[in-house]
Amino acid sequence: SQQGEEDPQALSIQEGENATMNCSYKTSINNLQWYRQNSGRGLVHLILIRSNEREKHSGRLRVTLDTSKKSSSLLITASRAADTASYFCATKESGSARQLTFGSGTQLTVLP
Amino acid sequence: EAGVAQSPRYKIIEKRQSVAFWCNPISGHATLYWYQQILGQGPKLLIQFQNNGVVDDSQLPKDRFSAERLKGVDSTLKIQPAKLEDSAVYLCASSFSGAGANVLTFGAGSRLTVL
């Protein structure tokens, strides 16, 4: 079963603009991670935020986490055509041996 | 550092036939995962190994799917007999074990088409 739901399902922006993707989940978590998947490839880890953190930055990426609302957002600033990919949130449920449950993903297209 | 190796990259079979996928994780990674990713969806965990023991296989359709990791390194995922709805990409991933957060490293995947 999918734990997270990303919103929007698809997003199309111009190069240089910012892209924001949202993720909602259902259970208590230890951490939330974001992964990127280029077409026909495996997933690549982008960033991890723990349940006791509210915001984290990595390069052009900014992730926020609101555990009271069970939601997270991923912001990509100054987007590039190379950012075109699917983005997935994944959660590590508290008290579960299962490592990660993935959401349904947001397909981001950055137009040159 | 070598990544997670998977083979074959592509496989086309008829329904009711069998297929096997192989995965070699990153050296030193004790935890290995098989995910199924249907087109347009997120990956769904099929089975998670810690060394050669199964941690979670609750979403593995055990009537047709099987997986093993005999020596705690390589793993094989088998489907027999295949159904049309098994058409998907089968992703292998690995991570360090232990408490705390674990980041997964994925292979490129094996794309299965069942006709």
Residue A9 has pLDDT above 60, yes or no: yes
Q: What residue type is assigned to position B71 of the chain?
A: K
Q: Cβ of A100 and B104 within 8 Å?
A: yes
Q: What rounded mean pLDDT belongs to chain A?
A: 93
- Model pLDDT, residue A16: 97
**Phi, psi (rounded to 5 degrees) for B62:** -70, -10
Query: Does the pLDDT of residue A29 top 60, yes or no?
Result: yes
* pLDDT at residue A10 greater than cutoff 60: yes
Which chain A residues have a beta carbon less than 8 Å from that of B43?
Answer: 43, 88, 102
C-beta atoms of B43 and A103 within 8 A: no
| Contact criterion met (CB < 8 Å) for A100 and B45 | yes
Q: How many CA atoms lie less than 13 Å away from B25 in the CB half-sphere?
A: 28
Low-confidence residues of chain B, pLDDT below 70?
Answer: 1, 98-101
